[in-house]
Amino acid sequence: MLATIESNPSESGRPESVFVSWLLWQPREADLPIEALKELSKLARYADRDPDIVRLRSLFATLAGQTGRPH
């Protein structure tokens, strides 16, 4: 198996890709809004330092029912 290394690490984990990967790894019986709240609490320490994290937090907040539709 070959591993690839991104020349620009910040582009390797676009927020939408990270979110979809997270969704796919959730167990079938998971309560997704509750799990999304857990992820929001983990991301809270990063505040608004990076626009990708802001976008990822927005996706989790939407799933958790804390906001309207994502922009």
The Cα 50–Cα 31 span in angstroms is 28
Whether the model pTM is above 0.85: no
Strand spans (E) along 1-71: none
Domain ranges of the chain: 31-71
* 39 Cβ contact list (under 8 Å, min separation 6): 22, 60
Per-residue pLDDT tens digits of the chain, which is 71 residues long:
444 444 454 555 799 999 999 999 999 999 999 999 999 999 998 877 889 999 999 999 999 998 755 44
